Amino acid sequence: MKENRVVALAGQPNCGKSTIFNMLTGARQYVANYPGVTVDIKRGFLRSGAGAIEIVDLPGAYSLTSYSSEEMVTRDFILNDAPDVVLNVIDASNLKRSLCLTFQILEMEAPLIVDLNMTDVAAGRGMSIDAKVLSRELGVPVASTVGNRRKGGRELKTLLEAVPKGSREFRLDYGTLEQDLLETEVELGTIFHEQTLPWRWMALKLFEKDDSVCTRVASIGERGVALLKEVERRAKEFEKKEKDDPASHIGYVRHLRAEEIERASVVRTPGANRDLTDRIDSVVVNRFFGPVLLLGIIYALYELSIVWGYKLTEYVVPWLNRFQMSVEGYLPVAGFWQSPMLRSLVGDVLTSINSVLIYIPIFLILFACIAFLEDVGYMPRMAFILDRVFRRFGLHGQSTLPLILGGIFIGGCAVPGVMATRVIADDRARFATILVVPLMNCMAKIPLYTLLISIYFVGSEGGMMLFISSITIVAALAVAKVLSLTVLRQRPSSPFVMEMPPYHMPTVHGIASRSIERTWLFCKKILSVIMLVSVAVFFLTNYPGLPEESVRGYERKAADIRAGFLREIEGTSYAKTLRDEDAFLRYLDMSDRFRQSRLAGADAESLVKRFSAEDATLASMMAGKGDEFRKLDKAAKKLRNGRLSLIRDASSERLNGSVLGRIAAFLEPATRFAGFNRKVNVALLSSLAAKESSVATLGVLYQPQDDAGKTLGERMKEQERGFTPLHALALMVFMAFYPPCVATLLMVRVETRSWLWSLFALVYPTALGLGCASLIYSGGKALGLTGLPAAWAFFGLLGAVALLLGMIPSANIEDEADGVVFERR
Amino acid sequence: MTLDEMNPGSRGRVLRNRAAGVLQRRLMDMGFHRGVEVEVIRNAPLVDPVEFLLDGQYVSLRHAEARNIEVESQ
């Protein structure tokens, strides 16, 4: 069997490489108008007459050094995996700079085909490139394409299908360095027994002081080390003579050759439409309009995705409920006061999954907005505007988007936020961003905020919302700075050198497909984890279960309630059927479903008809007229309430006695300083899996003592006499810094490639949150502050801390300013 | 003078790239080579970073990085 041919796609960021990949393979793939968005290697297949050709999309790289992971990945693939052809995609409007990469691939002696992409953009700038001349100058085949309009694909495919002719040797003349290079090449040939890498390429890398090649030569033994010393001596001598170091000289020679080739192959028409991009930028990054527009864009992002998306969830919820109900239909029938384990377990898992699935409309819109901003080319401008602010705190201009996605004001999600940190070029700032994104206000934190504000801050709701949304960004800045000065200190920091790509008009297809793809990816990554976690939480909150004594007590009460019900309907035609225990339970199950369906809007008559198929006698008890039915209905209502409060009592007792409840009780002495009692602890612990459930758990704990239909807020107020606005404030601040959900922790693991960082992302917010909550509660009590004044006092304190931290120079940035780290002499 | 000292709107020619290591490489990648003409386009709203035009491409640098490029103004 013939093996697949492998074509590796290489090119600089923003050359349209991903559109070429899509054009060749038809696969949907992440394409973004943002430097360096592809970090993973992506693969696809091109079907052709000569069998399938495998296309490998390598990360975009400006050159092939060992300074960044993108460049290393690309370089190692070309050298070690020896693809049959390297397809070098070139931005035709930017030929000179692109050729510097082409030279480096040629020097690796890889079989090469050049694809001149974005020829339309070049034409727009009055540049027309003669592919024949270019092909002659480089000695390799050259194709022309317009990737985003799928032009030139056939020609390119034909080139790829053809058996590559051994391309003629390409050699740049490095002039004054040439003699040193030649002698080093010869020396390399005698040291290494077999040639795994091209000698000349290695020699060039030695003079560029490339870490990985130097290590490789050193590893050969004494002769290798001697050669390194010799290269160093030659480099010093060269520097003295030429007043330029070899690395810079090599770059310069490539630049001159690229200029030569450009002169030979490009025809320029003067006066063509120069720079719409510049004219747009004079507004977009304008001192005054820039920030205003940025705020406008963030606002629009929220309005579109969170507000509109939330409205759309109303259409999704009924579907999800219907799904859950139909699954539950296949499970064993619920008992009178406790359900079979399988039923409650599956119910809990489904509820957790649904709580994530309802966000799908929000994610679709959010991802589409982001894709639009990326494709247009706005992202680098955003980084340009805000870099100054973020850099002070150890972040980067490119941290803006992750923070917005995380919920810089109110409502976001840390998962896409952490995902979006991938583009941050500076490693240290990237890690700092990953670790502070979960401090933002994700959508799941909001129910608790609104609950507490509606009880304890009546009349100043707006002020409190403003407080909670601005406190998190202030805290995030302070934390980022502390982290980058401490635990992240050792991580490499990179210079800020950012291309500002020209604006593009995005295509609807491109945006829609990427939004769908990212949402799908999100669901795939998250759902299995949510499932596992909800199972774990189920056991933590249900075991060891109720003591036998209580079980007997509940059984007795259940029997009483049932007996009372039967007494009330005594003498009716229903009594006989319902005296049977099994039929009674099925009656309860059916009336539950009946009520749920009624609430969802189904009409009674058709429901009765549907249920008749199951059991006609029971179905006839669901709706009806006449005295008999009225009697049943009245008794059923009483039964329902009695049962409900029994179930709540039992679940509250079960929760308090469970593993989680015991932990909560154990933690009480520590959380006392923050004003959290055991009930609050249980709610907070149980929301580790998903924060949405904090309110639901509080709902179970603060169960109604009568059937007056009081809201949870009223019940909390009634049952927690000692609970003050200060308690609520401490609780809200703790929620603001609440540890990330499992999905986020998983994403932190993906982006940092280490569980240790995930663990850190779990532990530090807990400590921070507890510390701040204790400070607020204990401090507020000591100073006699409460509610709003305490909130603003805390805000002032944290703000001052952040400002002071901002004053501390980041080690490297100052070094850069003094030119120590990156400067030569 | 160095590139960070030039005002928006002014033009200069690169004399030397004094940076080393990653920064030297990144600046070369963006085309900051001897003899290349650079135009300072604009400062960011908070002054730093700065946007430059060279060889038809827009590139932004922080002042700290631009300081490594020696230029003669034109």
pLDDT at A817 over 70: no
Q: What domain range is A184 assigned to?
A: 175-243
Torsion angle, CA of A786/A792/A797/A799, rounded to 10 degrees? 160
A786 in B contact zone (CB under 8 Å) = no
pLDDT, residue A815, reads 44
Cα dihedral across residues A563, A566, A571, A576: positive or negative? negative
How far, in Å, CA of A426 to CA of A497, rounded? 10
CA A785 → CA A51, A469, A726, B65, distances in Å?
77, 21, 8, 48
Question: Is residue A330, in this structure, part of any structural domain at all?
Answer: no
How far, in Å, CA of A680 to CA of A225, rounded? 65
Q: What is the CATH number of the domain that holds A124?
A: 3.40.50.300
pLDDT, residue A88, reads 95
Specify whether A120 is located in the same domain as A194: no
Give the closest of A281, A497, A817 to B26, CB-based: A497
pLDDT at B40 over 90: yes
pLDDT at A35 over 80: no
Among the listed ranges A381-395, A473-487, A505-519, which one has the minimum average pLDDT value?
A505-519
Q: What are the chain B neighbours of A278 within 8 Å (beta carbons)?
A: 41, 53, 58
Question: Is residue A84, in this structure, part of any structural domain at all?
Answer: yes
pLDDT at A813 over 60: no
Q: Are A86 and A10 spatial neighbours (Cβ–Cβ below 8 Å)?
A: yes
How far, in Å, CA of A684 to CA of A664, rounded? 9
Pick from A215, A243, A271: which residue ends a domain? A243
Q: Are A405 and A370 spatial neighbours (Cβ–Cβ below 8 Å)?
A: yes
| Mutate which: A287, A496, A818, vs B, most B CBs within 10 A | A496
* Predicted confidence (pLDDT) per residue in A476-509, tens digit: 999 999 999 999 988 888 888 898 988 888 888 8
A380 in B contact zone (CB under 8 Å) = yes
Which of A337, A336, A339, A335 lies closest to A347 in space, CA to CA?
A: A339
pLDDT at A30 over 70: no
pLDDT at A33 over 50: no
Q: What's the mean pLDDT when you consider all of chain B?
A: 91
Among the listed ranges A277-286, A335-344, A809-818, which one has the minimum average pLDDT value?
A809-818
Question: Is residue A806, in this structure, part of any structural domain at all?
Answer: no
Pick from A161, A185, A211: which residue ends a domain? A161
In sequence order, which residues have a C-beta less than 8 Å from that of residue A589 and are 6 or more positions away?
A333, A334
Over residues B41-51, the mean pLDDT reads 91
| Mutate which: B39, B48, B62, B68, vs A, most A CBs within 10 A | B62
Among the listed ranges A128-132, A628-632, A659-663, A685-689, which one has the minimum average pLDDT value?
A685-689
Give the closest of B29, B45, B67 to A285, CB-based: B45
B27 in A contact zone (CB under 8 Å) = yes
Question: Which helix (H) or strand (E) is A43 found in, with range?
Answer: strand A42-46
pLDDT, residue A1, reads 42
A positions 274-303 inside 8 Å of B (CB)? 277-278, 281-282, 285-288, 290-291
How far, in Å, CA of B4 to CA of B40, rounded? 9
Cα dihedral across residues A409, A413, A415, A420: positive or negative? negative
pLDDT at A148 over 80: no
* Predicted confidence (pLDDT) per residue in A211-248, tens digit: 899 999 999 889 999 999 999 999 999 999 988 889 99
Which of A188-197, A550-559, A812-821 is most confident?
A550-559
> Per the CB < 8 Å rule, is A391 touching B62?
yes
Residue whose entry in the numeric block shows the structure tokens 């999800």: A320
Which of A235-244, A463-472, A617-626, A715-724 is most confident?
A235-244
Over residues A420-447, the mean pLDDT reads 88
A210: which 2 tokens?
A: 């490339």
Give the closest of A125, A385, A497 to B65, CB-based: A497
Q: Is the peptide bond before A544 cis (omega within 30 degrees of 0)?
A: yes
Q: What is the DSSP letter of A398?
A: G
Specify whether A10 is located in the same domain as A114: yes
A564: which 2 tokens?
A: 């009372």
pLDDT range class, residue A32, cuts 50, 70, 90: very low
Over residues A387-406, the mean pLDDT reads 90
Q: What are the chain B neighbours of A74 within 8 Å (beta carbons)?
A: none
A491 in B contact zone (CB under 8 Å) = no
> Per the CB < 8 Å rule, is A388 touching B49?
yes
Torsion angle, CA of A284/A287/A292/A298, rounded to 10 degrees? 60
Specify whether A154 is located in the same domain as A26: yes
A94 in B contact zone (CB under 8 Å) = yes
Nearest chain B residue (CA) to A389? B46
Q: What is the DSSP letter of A503?
A: P
Question: Is residue A384, in this structure, part of any structural domain at all?
Answer: no
Which of A419, A390, A387 lies closest to A402 in space, CA to CA?
A: A419
B23 in A contact zone (CB under 8 Å) = yes
| Mutate which: B17, B27, B29, vs A, most A CBs within 10 A | B29
B2 in A contact zone (CB under 8 Å) = no
Residue whose entry in the numeric block shows the structure tokens 């009225």: A630
> Per the CB < 8 Å rule, is A823 touching B41?
no
Give the closest of A65, A93, A285 to B25, CB-based: A65
pLDDT at A819 over 60: no
In sequence order, which residues have a C-beta less than 8 Å from that of residue A134 and are 6 or more positions away?
A114, A116, A142, A261, A265
Q: What are the chain A neighbours of B29 within 8 Å (beta carbons)?
A: 62-63, 97, 100, 497
Residue whose entry in the numeric block shows the structure tokens 């409900």: A644
Specify whether A28 is located in the same domain as A147: yes
Which of A113, A63, A123, A122 lies closest to A94 in space, CA to CA?
A: A122
Q: Are B1 and B71 spatial neighbours (Cβ–Cβ below 8 Å)?
A: yes
How far, in Å, CA of A426 to CA of A432, rounded? 10
Q: What is the DSSP letter of A156?
A: H
CB pairs under 8 A between A and B: 147
> Per the CB < 8 Å rule, is A287 touching B45?
yes
How far, in Å, CA of A518 to CA of A365, rounded? 11
> Per the CB < 8 Å rule, is B55 touching A96?
yes
> Per the CB < 8 Å rule, is B59 touching A277?
no
Q: How much of chain A is in helix, strand and coil states, percent to nearest 5?
A: 65, 5, 25
> Per the CB < 8 Å rule, is A248 touching B28?
yes
> Per the CB < 8 Å rule, is B45 touching A385?
yes
Q: What are the chain B neighbours of A495 within 8 Å (beta carbons)?
A: 19, 22-23, 26, 61-62, 65
In percent, the amount of chain A with pLDDT more than 70 equals: 91
pLDDT, residue A703, reads 56
pLDDT at A403 over 50: yes
pLDDT at A696 over 70: no
Over residues A444-460, the mean pLDDT reads 83
pLDDT range class, residue A712, cuts 50, 70, 90: confident
Taking the CA of residue A180 and the nearest CA in chain B, the distance in Å comes to 21
CA A469 → CA A107, A271, A450, distances in Å?
54, 50, 12
Q: What's the mean pLDDT when you consider all of chain A?
A: 84
Specify whether A91 is located in the same domain as A214: no
Over residues A141-156, the mean pLDDT reads 86
pLDDT range class, residue A823, cuts 50, 70, 90: very low
Residue A339, SS3 per DSSP = coil
> Per the CB < 8 Å rule, is B29 touching A287?
no
Question: Is residue A61, in this structure, part of any structural domain at all?
Answer: yes
> Per the CB < 8 Å rule, is A285 touching B58?
no
Q: Are A569 and A635 spatial neighbours (Cβ–Cβ below 8 Å)?
A: yes
Specify whether A140 is located in the same domain as A74: yes
A65 in B contact zone (CB under 8 Å) = yes
> Per the CB < 8 Å rule, is A499 touching B28?
no
Q: Are B31 and B55 spatial neighbours (Cβ–Cβ below 8 Å)?
A: yes
pLDDT, residue A3, reads 66
Q: Are A86 and A77 spatial neighbours (Cβ–Cβ below 8 Å)?
A: no
pLDDT, residue A719, reads 67
Specify whether A157 is located in the same domain as A182: no
Q: What is the DSSP letter of B6?
A: S
Q: What are the chain A neighbours of B17 within 8 Å (beta carbons)?
A: 248
Which of A46-60, A449-463, B14-28 is most confident?
B14-28
Taking the CA of residue A318 and the nearest CA in chain B, the distance in Å comes to 48
pTM to 2 decimals? 0.82
Question: Is residue A525, in this structure, part of any structural domain at all?
Answer: no
pLDDT at A534 over 60: yes
* Predicted confidence (pLDDT) per residue in A566-580, tens digit: 998 888 888 888 888
How far, in Å, CA of A358 to CA of A316, rounded? 6
In percent, the amount of chain A with pLDDT more than 90 equals: 28
> Per the CB < 8 Å rule, is A252 touching B33?
yes
Nearest chain B residue (CA) to A397? B49
pLDDT, residue A546, reads 86
Over residues A80-95, the mean pLDDT reads 90
> Per the CB < 8 Å rule, is A823 touching B68?
yes
pLDDT, residue A517, reads 80
* Complete edge-to-edge strand list for the sheet that includes strand B69-73: A497-499, B57-61, B47-54, B37-44, B11-17, B69-73
Specify whether A15 is located in the same domain as A146: yes
pLDDT range class, residue A411, cuts 50, 70, 90: confident
> Per the CB < 8 Å rule, is A495 touching B22?
yes
Q: Please give the ipTM for the structure prediction.
A: 0.95
A816 in B contact zone (CB under 8 Å) = yes
Give the closest of A97, A252, A824 to B55, CB-based: A97
* Predicted confidence (pLDDT) per residue in A770-805, tens digit: 999 999 999 998 988 878 889 999 999 999 999 999
Specify whether A151 is located in the same domain as A189: no
pLDDT range class, residue A704, cuts 50, 70, 90: low
Pick from A139, A161, A183: which residue ends a domain? A161
Among the listed ranges A317-321, A377-381, A707-711, which one has the minimum average pLDDT value?
A707-711
Structural domains counted in chain A: 3
pLDDT range class, residue A540, cuts 50, 70, 90: confident
Taking the CA of residue A289 and the nearest CA in chain B, the distance in Å comes to 9
Taking the CA of residue A111 and the nearest CA in chain B, the distance in Å comes to 23
Q: How many residues appear in chain A? A: 825
Residue whose entry in the numeric block shows the structure tokens 């015991």: A662
Over residues A650-672, the mean pLDDT reads 87
A568 in B contact zone (CB under 8 Å) = no
- The phi and psi torsions of A44 (rounded to 5 degrees) equal -160, 175
Q: Are strands A5-11 and A85-91 parallel, antiparallel or unpaired?
A: parallel
Nearest chain B residue (CA) to A817? B64
Question: Is residue A440, in this structure, part of any structural domain at all?
Answer: no
Specify whether A153 is located in the same domain as A181: no
Question: Is residue A604, in this structure, part of any structural domain at all?
Answer: yes
B58 in A contact zone (CB under 8 Å) = yes
Specify whether A113 is located in the same domain as A224: no
Higher pLDDT, A526 or A346: A346
pLDDT, residue A370, reads 85
Give the closest of A252, A384, A822 to B49, CB-based: A384
Q: What are the chain A neighbours of B62 within 8 Å (beta carbons)?
A: 387, 391, 495-496, 816
Which of A631, A582, A658, A675 lies closest to A336 in space, CA to CA?
A: A582
pLDDT range class, residue A465, cuts 50, 70, 90: confident
Specify whether A133 is located in the same domain as A189: no
Give the closest of B27, B60, B64 to A816, CB-based: B64
Give the closest of A62, A500, A823 to B19, CB-based: A823
For chain B, how many helices (H) and strands (E)?
A: 2, 5
pLDDT, residue A250, reads 94
pLDDT at A441 over 60: yes
pLDDT range class, residue A123, cuts 50, 70, 90: confident
How far, in Å, CA of A635 to CA of A637, rounded? 5
How far, in Å, CA of A592 to CA of A599, rounded? 11
CATH of domain B3-73: 2.30.30.90
| Mutate which: A71, A121, A214, A248, vs B, most B CBs within 10 A | A248
